[in-house]
Structure 1
Amino acid sequence: MNVLDSVILPMHREGRKFVAIFALITIIATWLWQPLFWPGLALTVWCYYFFRDPKRVVPQNPNAIISPADGVVSLIQDVVPPKEMGLGDEALTRVSVFMSVFNCHVNRACIDGVVRNVTYHHGKFLNASLDKASEHNERNSITVERADGVKVGITQIAGLVARRIVCFVKDGSSLSAGDRFGLIRFGSRLDIYLPKGAALQVSLGQTTIAGETILADLGDGADAQVGISK
């Protein structure tokens, strides 16, 4: 990879219209008052950077549960998952990854599997770093099931700035670990519900990279404890 490849990153198609809008506003603002060119250019570049979609090297570990988001691990808690996710009534470890407006916002699949549930909820736009955002904020829940019955739940949560959750998959869609399944525009959070028996591989405050960072490892001993539908 040369220097240009590390600076000029591919942009997701969802961002094209927004970059075009920012560029048009910059042109109009510059026509009205020339000093506005530089702030407008900076915002346009930021918008392009926000929708960047870099290539990722997915770990070749069949027992790995990979982070679906770039960001920081903001919460690790044992909670009962939402009923619509079909993950049972017992508490599971939930890892929350908070994405700032400077993180890449393309979301990627945690495991190989089939999408079993996609459920959208309207809600508030509280600070996504708060614990109650999981319950009160606008969100989209997805459950992915491996061939052996192991299930991982993922919830895309809107935040103070984020006002649009985008999901590219539906019930029955097949995914491979690292595949793009959605994004959230302008700052947000993802909750990942880990199967019982999964060994946590991250800690609070750790930075994660979507499609690369391993959140948890199922291992050989975990298989007998996960994938039970209730």
Structure 2
Amino acid sequence: MLTRIEVAADQVRDRCLLTTGLLSPRRLPAPDGVVRVALIAASALLLAGDRVEIQVDIKGPVRVEIIETAGTVAYAMRGGSASWDVSISLTDGAQLTWHGEPFVVAEGAEVTRSTEVVLEANCWAVIRESLVFGRHGEVGGTMRSSQRAWLDGELLLAEDLDLSPETRPGWAILGTARCLDSITTLGRRLPDTSSTGFLQLEGVGSVARRLVGQQHESDLGQTWAVSTAADKISGWS
């Protein structure tokens, strides 16, 4: 079922149209020039057969902040599967921050997850994604993840990950880690640092990533604070 967040900048009051699917978007109080939207599960998620589809369309010089109020657990699916697909369009100076809460892939879950972002040259997005494999004492199920981003018509980011129990222990994927925490910036770069786990894309964008045993061990909280205060940071380009 489709969840849709549509925001258009307006000199009097930014217009916001919200459509409920398996997730219910709710507008929250925010300063002028900012539209803050919470995503709340409208039913038990994520179960076999669930098809979560989220569309975000932002037009004009307005900043949209999407907040997930709780993490998501993909439960054992007994041979079934589920999907979580996000598509984002930013035009005419739009800005987006989306802080995803932990997405837990429990034992026996089978999930495909995709994100597509299309930005014009004067737009930017910052997205945090935290994937956790297994609840306490579990190995965790299967996830296949796909990310694509285009900036001003040019492909900026393309990544496909097979995060099944058989492949993710590989040294080039998760190794011994159980959690994959990422912050992706598109349309702007994170300040260059000597820290490991930062990748500057060929185009204008960056990926900060941590592989940790427990989600609370990730140190990307400070990176998130820096990346979402972009208008105050001269180190951004």
**More helix as a share of residues:** 1
What's the TM-score once normalised by structure 2's chain length?
0.27
Structure with larger RCO (C-alpha < 8 A, sep 6+): 1
Q: If you compute each CA radius of gyration, which structure gives the higher value, 1 or 2?
A: 1
What's the TM-score once normalised by structure 1's chain length?
0.27
**More strand as a share of residues:** 2
